[in-house]
Structure 1
Amino acid sequence: MPPPKVALPPPRADAASGLHYLNMRDYIAGRITAGELKPGARLPSERDLQTGAGVARGTIREGLFQLEAEGIIYRKDRSGWYVSPPPVVYDPTRWDGFMSYVEAQGRTPSTETLGKTEIACDALLAEVFGRPIGSPMYLIRRRRYIDGRAVLVESIVVDPAMAPGVLSHDLDRSLTSILKSAYNISVARNRVEMQPCALIREEAEALRVKSGLPGLSVVRTSYDALGRVVEFDREYWRHDALKISVDIRLT
C-alpha cells in the first residue's frame, strides 16, 4: 500500500518572518494528531513536499528536522521520513528485561550483537567492579530493535572471573538468561541512572540518526545477592522510543 500523501497549505502571508517551516511542522503534526497519518506511515519525499508547499528545500528540511527533534517523525536511511510509532513504557523499578517488557506491550523486540571482545580494566571499571586496573574484562556491544526499528545501542561489561567464556554464547539472546542458566548468576539489585544526552559519533551512527539529536542515557549496574557486580551496562536510547513510567504506592 503506498504511503499517504500530504497536501500542504500555502505558505503564510508573513513570509519575511521566516516561519514557513513552523507552518509546515504544525500542519503535518496536526494530520498525525488527527489520525490521518498513522504510526509507521511514510511521508512524501522532500521534493514532493517542496512542490506542495511552494517553498525552498531548506525550509522543508527545517520543518522536518523540527518534527524529528520532537520525536514525531523519524528518518530511515535512503527510504525517507516516517511517522514515529508509540514509545514503549519503561518502569526502572521493575525487574523485567528489555525482551520481556517490550513483548508485554504487544511489540516485537530483537537484538543484534555488534561486537564482543576482551578489554583491560580502566580506572572507572576498576571502581565499579572492585578489580585491579589492567585486569581482563569482557565488553559486549549490541543494538536493540522494536518492531524492526533500532531504538538503543548498549555497551555491557562483564567480569570474566564470574562468567568465563560468556563471549562464546549467542549474545543476541537475553544476557540475563545466559548468566542465570550457564553460570547460576542471578541479579538481586539494580542501580539505574538516567539523564538526557545528545546522540553523537558512534551512538548516532549505530542508531542511524543525525548526530546531535537528543537521546536518553541509561547507566545500569547490576549486583548479585552477595553484592558483586554482575554487569555494567551503558545504554543510549532514541528519545522518541521510550517513555518512563513509575507507579509509586504509599503505605
Structure 2
Amino acid sequence: MMAASTTDAKDHALSSTTAGWVKPRSPTDAYTYLDVRDLIARHIAHGELPHGARLPSERQMQTATGAARGTVRAALFQLEAEGLIYRRNRSGWYVAPPPIVYDPTRWESFMTYVAAQGREPRTEALDMRTCAATAELAGIFGVAEGAPLFEIRRRRYIDERAALVETIFVDPRLAPGLLDHDLNGSLTGVLSGHYGIDVVRNRVEMSPCALTQREADALRVRSGLPGLLIKRISYDAKGRVVEYDHEYWLHDALKVTVDIRLGN
C-alpha cells in the first residue's frame, strides 16, 4: 500500500482532539505556520470544529504536529486576526461564533437586534459620570465648551462574549437624573420610557481601527487587534442631539449589511 503523502497527512492532522494528528516524517516536512493555519481553517470550514468549539491546547498542537511553539502561536494569531478564532483568558482558543448582522439604516437597540437573531445580549455599565464638554462635544451638542454632559461607558456581550465597548454622551438637560437609572440594559428604553425621548434619525460613521490598550483591556483581547469603530449621533424629532456614541467592536463580531431598494 502506498504511503500517504505529506500533504495528505497534514490535511488530516487536525481534529477537536489530537488523536488524528500526524507528525511530519522528517525535519524537512516540518509544519510552517501557514500549514497549521490552513489545517485549522479547513476543519472550521467543514464543520469539524463548530462555532464555540475549543481548540486543542498550544502544547497539544505543538506535540501533535512537531511544529515549534512559535510556529503554532503564529498560526493562531493569524486565525485570530482573520476572525476565525478567539482567545478566552486562562481558557484557551475557541472557534469564533457567527457575527451579528447590523443594518445602520435601521434604528434598533443593541438588545433588540441581537435577541432578534437568536443570540443572548447583555450590557454591563463600567463607569458613569458627569464630564465637561470638549470643543468637539460642544460643537456636536450645541453647548458651551466646558458645559456638563453625562458620560456612560459600557461593555456589551453577545452570548457572554464581550463584543464591544462603548462610550456614550448625553445632554443632561434632556435627561436629568439619567445616571441614577439602571443602565445595564437598553439606554434607548430608558430615554423613551422614562423621559419620552425617541430617536428619529441617526448619523453613523464606520471606520476600521486597531484596538488601543484601553479598548483591548475592556474587551479582554490583545491591543493592536483589528476592530470596527462606529460613531453615531442620534437626533429626536426636534433635531436635538439625544446621544453621541463611540462603539469599538471586535472585528469578527459584526457584519454590516444594508438592503437598498432602487427605483424603477
TM-score between the two structures when normalised by the length of structure 2: 0.90
Amino acid at match of 2:145: I
Q: Which residue does the alignment assign to 1:248? A: 260
Q: 2:81 aligns with which of 55, 69, 87?
A: 69
Q: Which residue does the alignment assign to 1:219? A: 231
Root mean square deviation of aligned Cα: 1.7
Q: Which residue does the alignment assign to 2:70? A: 58
- What does 1:184-195 correspond to in 2, within 5 Å? 184-195=196-207
Tell me the distance in 1 between the aligned counterparts of 2:225 and 2:24: 27
Q: CA deviation at 1:5?
A: 1.2
Q: Please say if residues 112 and 144 of structure 1, whose CA atoms lie closer than 8 Å, have aligned partners that are also in contact.
A: yes
Q: Which residue does the alignment assign to 1:236? A: 248
Tell me the distance in 2 between the aligned counterparts of 1:224 and 1:45: 51
Tell me the distance in 2 between the aligned counterparts of 1:125 and 1:14: 60
**SS, match of residue 62 in structure 1:** helix
Amino acid at match of 1:81: W
Q: CA deviation at 1:10?
A: 3.8
Tell me the distance in 2 between the aligned counterparts of 1:131 and 1:167: 20
Q: 2:186 aligns with which of 155, 164, 174?
A: 174
Q: 1:91 aligns with which of 103, 107, 129?
A: 103
Q: Residue deviations 1:70-115, cap 9 Å, x none? A: 0000000000000000001000001111111111111010000001
Tell me the distance in 2 between the aligned counterparts of 1:8 and 1:59: 16
Amino acid at match of 2:197: I
Structure 2: where are the runs of 5+ without partners?
1-14
**SS, match of residue 217 in structure 1:** strand
Tell me the distance in 2 between the aligned counterparts of 1:119 and 1:49: 49
Q: Does 1:5 align with 2:42?
A: no
Q: Does 1:154 align with 2:166?
A: yes
Tell me the distance in 2 between the aligned counterparts of 1:146 and 1:234: 18
Q: Does 1:142 align with 2:157?
A: no
**SS, match of residue 36 in structure 1:** coil
Aligned-residue identity in percent: 61
Amino acid at match of 1:29: A
Distance 1:14-1:198 versus aligned 2 partners, 3 A rule = farther
Distance 1:15-1:196 versus aligned 2 partners, 3 A rule = farther
Q: CA deviation at 1:8?
A: 3.9
Instruction: Report how many residues are paired.
Output: 248
Q: 2:124 aligns with which of 96, 102, 112?
A: 112
Q: Does 1:197 align with 2:209?
A: yes
Tell me the distance in 1 between the aligned counterparts of 2:22 and 2:31: 14
Q: 1:46 aligns with which of 43, 58, 66?
A: 58
**SS, match of residue 96 in structure 1:** coil
Q: CA deviation at 1:13?
A: 7.6
Q: Residue deviations 1:153-179, cap 9 Å, x none? A: 000000111111100000012101101
**SS, match of residue 102 in structure 1:** helix
Q: Does 1:132 align with 2:156?
A: no
Structure 1: where are the runs of 5+ without partners?
none
TM-score between the two structures when normalised by the length of structure 1: 0.95
